[in-house]
Every structure is written in structure tokens, then in C-alpha cells.
Structure 1
Amino acid sequence: MPDDNQTPPTPQSMHEMEKELELLRQKCAFLERVIHGVPANIYVSDLEKGVVWCNKTNEESLGYPLEEIRKMEGMAYMQAILHPDDQQVPGESVDHYQNFSGAEFGGVFRAKHKDEQEYKWYIGWAKAFARNDEGTVKELLCVDVAMSPHMNTEEQLVQALKDNLRLKNKLLIKSLRKREIEILSLICKGYSTKSIAKKLFISENTVSTHRRNIQQKLGTANVAELVNLASEAGLG
């Protein structure tokens, strides 16, 4: 029921409201133009439903309209665009936000347009965008940038990736115990299992066990990979 004592708006107040409304329209139009025109794929991903919103750049670069993406739900859209060897990337991101409290989470992956066969490299970042009533992350805001072959800073890009890999390897090395680092250093210097055992006054079986544990922690398949990772991290 309307309040009889309420003062009706004056022509001046109506004019001011219309001006504010027009300013809001202009602001929204500008922001929409920026979001859809930025040279990066921007999208919001629900951890259960999949991508629920994306900008025009995302639609154009990968060939899937938002309406079609929403119908695919879950990981179906990601599975359609990602390279077979990079299918684990979205799952790793989801796992990160379901099990850890870290902020941003990034990665490098390959994706292709719906009507093309060739994959392009992308570097992407995500951060928590919305949470449920329990405070658990519900949606992610993601930004993916294509690493175009036409980039004029290829040398800087290569160096940046090397630096990033070096930092990642250093963090892996830090996860090792003191004895494991000691053994890894000797492996990098060319010492055999027998020589390491003799130098450290331990059994060869103990050295072999340490070597297996080191490779498991660092995710390497053989000695060559092990030495290469340690070398990139500045060890040896």
C-alpha cells in the first residue's frame, strides 16, 4: 500500500535520476566492451557444472558459443578443446581449490578451435571467484592468453618459461630431506651407487632406496631426467 505522506519526485529529481541511470548504462557498455574486446579468453567456471560464462574472445578463439558450452556441462567442454596430453590440467585446478587454500593457480596447455585440427599453446591463470555458504570455493575466474607465434618478445617468453621451470624445480628440490639432497648432489657429480655408499658410509641398498624416493618425489623416470632437473635447479 503506497504511503500517502510520501513526497512525489520533482521534475528536477527525476532528471537527476535519469542522468545517473544514463551514466550507469554508459559505464556498463564500456565495461562490456572491454571484457569482450580484451585479447584473452575470460570465463567463469563452476567446479561442478563447468564453464557458466565466457567473453566473446573465448567464443571466437575456440569456436564454441556460450549457449553451447553451457549445454555440455562438467568437463565435456574442456575435453573437447584440450590436447589429449593436457586433459589433466582442469582437474588439477579443481583439485587445487578443493583441497588447498592457495589463491591463484596457473598452467600452460594446448587447446584448439572447434573447426580446426591445429592446437595452440595457452598460458592461463585462475582464482577463486565465488564461494558457497560453507566458504568452499564454488566458482573460478579464469584468464587464458594464447602464446601466438607472432609474438615479438619470443626471446623474453623463452627466458620467462625457463625461469619459471627453474623456480618450480627449486621448490621440488626443497621437498627433499637433507640426506636425499646429499645423495642427489653426488649423483649429479657422476658417482655410482657403490661409490656413494662408500663415501657416505652407508649400504648400497640404502642408497638405492634413497634414489627411488628421490625420483618419486621429483617425478623423474631415469637418471638423465633426475640430473637435468637438479642442474636446472642449480644443484650439482
Structure 2
Amino acid sequence: MPEQSSETDKIAALESEIRNLREKCAFLEKVVHEVPANIYISNLQEGVIWCNRTNEETLGYTLEEINEMGGMAYLQAIVHPDDLHIPEDSITHYQHFDGAEFGGLFRAKHKHESQYKWFLGWAKAFNKSPKGEVKEIICVDVDMSPRMNTEEQLTQALRENLKQKNRILLRSLRKREIEILELICKGCSTREIAERLFISPNTVSTHRKSIQRKLGTSNVADLVSLGKEAGIG
């Protein structure tokens, strides 16, 4: 009888553990599918291979549809044409992974809508090969279209993010180019800059063209705007 009782206790304990595991799995599954963000796994070769329910509802494609059309084709279908380089940049980033994660802003649209929405996304290395090469990444994208209750803070955060991005761009400039950009942002003309720096106006123009090429601006107004956003002038 003692042996039978012991065996019964073991079975009861095992059944209790199984119930607890099922409850835990159900809870975690609910969290994953109810969280107000698109969560998905992307294979560097195949594209999106799994997503949560929020992702399906936000963009209109079920996981089955995504798998059927292919993860890369799915991304091309939802992401704005001007932002398609972002998924490609993330793949390149993780193919040469150095420990820094990838994130940014992009536009995507629902399957049955023509209007694009802005998303703030972040990725993290999720699965690696035995050699340490990243094979899959987990991504979390937040739809920024719903009304924000902290609009002032959001505006400030985006402003700070833009300032930091432009500061990184400025690192590509040489010391003399920085000096010229500072004077341009202060409203100095080509001749005034030449006189202050004791160089010819042609040299100033050459430097300005080089600055615009490096920063991706097409005119002085955009150049001044970028410089001021980065804290210059």
C-alpha cells in the first residue's frame, strides 16, 4: 500500500506540474498576442517566418498568408517603396553583426488600405549558427498612428533622435568643412566665409559642394536646416 500511495502521489504531482505548465504557456501566449506591438521573427534568408496576432490585425496578413507568399515578398507588399531599404539594411547589418542592434522608423500599410502608417521598430539577434552567425532576428514594431497621450514627449524624442542622427552624419566632414558649415549656418555668404578663413571664394564653393554631397542635401536651405538640427549655428 505505501508503494501504491507513493506512485499515486507522483502521478498527482506530475499532473499538477503539467497543468501549471499549460497555464503558464497559455498566459505567455496571451501576452505575446495581446501586446500592443507587432512582434515577428525574420530569417535573414527567407524574411518573416512568424508573427503575433497584433501583427496580423495591424497589417492584414495572416501568418499562413505570409508563409505562402514568402517573407521577403510580404515585406515588399507592406513597406513603403521609399523605406524598402530599411529591411535590406537590417539584413546587411546582422550579416556583419558586431553586437549593436538595429532600429528605426518606417512606413507600412494594411493589406486592404492605401494609406501608410508610421512604425517605430527595433530588432535583436534571436537565433545564431554554431559559428555565431545571426540566422534569425526578433523584431518589435509599434504603430505610431493612434493618438498619443504624450505628444510633447514624442515630439521631443523624435527631435533628439534626429539631432543625434545628424551629428553622426557630421562626423563624415573634415575640420575645414565643419568650420565652413558653421559659418553657413550663421548666414555668412561665400565671400564672407572666404574672408574669415583666408581662402578663395572658389575654395569655399568647392567645400560647400563636398559638404552637401556628404550630407545628402541639395541646397543651402536644407544644409542650414540639417546643421541647426545637429546643434550647429
TM-score by length of 2: 0.91
Shift of 1:229: 0.7
Shift of 1:220: 1.4
Counterpart Cα distance in 1 of 2:105 and 2:19:
42
Q: Deviations for 1:78-111, whole angstroms, at most 9, x for unmatched residues?
A: 1111122222221121122223414321111111
Counterpart Cα distance in 1 of 2:224 and 2:27:
53
Counterpart of 2:23?
26
Q: Deviations for 1:184-235, whole angstroms, at most 9, x for unmatched residues?
A: 1111122233332332223344333322222222221211111101111111
TM-score by length of 1: 0.90
Shift of 1:152: 1.9
Give RMSD over aligned pairs. Answer: 1.7
Counterpart Cα distance in 1 of 2:80 and 2:25:
36
Counterpart of 1:3?
none
Counterpart of 2:207?
210
Please say if residues 103 and 128 of structure 1, whose CA atoms lie closer than 8 Å, have aligned partners that are also in contact.
Answer: no
Q: Quick one: which of 110, 114, 131 aligns to 1:113?
A: 110
Q: How is 1:173-192 mapped onto 2 (pairs within 5 angstroms)? A: 173-192=170-189
Please say if residues 122 and 144 of structure 1, whose CA atoms lie closer than 8 Å, have aligned partners that are also in contact.
Answer: yes
Unaligned runs of 5+ in 2: 1-5
Q: Deviations for 1:49-106, whole angstroms, at most 9, x for unmatched residues?
A: 0101100111111111101101222421011111222222211211222234143211
Q: How is 1:1-236 mapped onto 2 (pairs within 5 angstroms)? A: 10-236=7-233
* 2:50 match: secondary structure: strand
Counterpart of 2:3?
none
Unaligned runs of 5+ in 1: 1-8
Taking a change above 3 Å as real, the CA distance of residues 74 and 55 of structure 1, as seen in their structure-2 partners, is closer
Shift of 1:176: 2.1
Amino acid at match of 2:153: Q
Structure 1 runs of 4+ with >6 Å offset: none
Give the share of equivalent positions with the same residue, in percent: 65
